[in-house]
């Protein structure tokens, strides 16, 4: 019974890993593009409070995904 539970956990983890790690380069690219857009807008004009929050969130997400990518490889 325990062996069957471990097999189920293994299968579930493989699915989770595949869905979370295969799209990392695409996610990183789109987040970096958004960050560049917000940075460019911030150089020309003041960012709104929502845009500042989004910029912080995007930067934190890029950092998090970068650490995840490094730990996987």
Q: What is the pLDDT of residue 36?
A: 95
Q: Tens digit of pLDDT per residue, the chain (73 long)?
A: 888 999 999 999 888 877 766 778 888 899 999 999 999 999 999 999 999 999 999 999 999 988 887 876 5
Q: Which of 34, 66, 64 is nearest to 51 (CA)?
A: 34
Residue 40's SS3 state is helix
- CA dist 23 and 25 (Å) reads 6
């Amino acid at each position: 019974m325990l062996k069957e539970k471990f097999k189920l956990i293994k299968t579930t983890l493989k699915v989770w890993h595949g869905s979370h790690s295969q799209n990392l380069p695409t996610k990183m690219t789109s987040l970096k593009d958004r960050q560049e857009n917000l940075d460019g807008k911030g150089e020309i004009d003041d960012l709104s409070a929502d845009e500042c929050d989004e910029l912080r969130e995007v930067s934190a997400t890029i950092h998090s995904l970068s650490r995840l990518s490094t730990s996987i490889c």
